[in-house]
Amino acid sequence: MYQNKTIAVVVPAYNEEKLIGRVIETMPEYIDYIIVVNDYSPDSTSEKIHRYLPEMENRLKLIEHEVNQGVGGAIASGYEWCRDNKIDVAVVMAGDAQMDPDDLPTLLMPVIADETDYAKGNRLFTGEIASGYWHVADSQCGYTAINLKALKAIHWDDMYKRYGQPNDLLVRLNINNFISISFEIFIR
């Protein structure tokens, strides 16, 4: 729990045998659940994750796709798990360890404080996208946090499944009048 909220991190993973262990091992203790979605990786990603399951069985959850769905499909599967398990805030961190866990509090706080429904990392400084969220310059940054209200409102089966998912989600959030904010973060 973090600030009395349940927090899950959704980790989309495809061919991440080299870095998935680092993602799992560096996850802060205040994260209640680590939801790794193996998107039908042909490498040993699944075997690597299975090594952690016995010691982390209550905290680490593995969702195995039987067909590759793309990063958007993996995120949607993780979000559905979070929605169905009534997780207060779901965060997305890539399976390649590019997102710094030290940035989690910055991303979480406005969602936990009900200042926003969706917080998004921003690797850029300026720009505009076609979602209607003119303050979100880096629409493709996958380091995000979303609250349960928004998780329940979006139809995840209809979500774009590949790399265009972040844009699709921003548009859907805007259509449903959810508040979104962006933060400058650094990807390692």
DSSP 113-173: TTS-SEEEEESSSS---TTS-TT---TT---EEEEHHHHHHS-GGGS--STTHHHHHHHHH
Q: Which are the contacts of 88, defined by CB distance < 8 A and separation ≥ 6?
A: 5, 6, 7, 112, 147, 148
pLDDT at 187: 52
| Structural domains present in the chain | 7-184 (3.90.550.10)
Q: What local confidence, expressed as pLDDT, does residue 168 receive?
A: 75
- Residue 186 pLDDT: 52
- The pLDDT of residue 131 is 39
Give pLDDT, residue 179.
Answer: 77
pLDDT beneath 50, residues of the chain = 125-135, 137-139
pLDDT for 60: 98
Q: What is the pLDDT of residue 158?
A: 85
Tens of pLDDT, residue by residue over 164-185, are 677 778 778 888 888 776 655 5
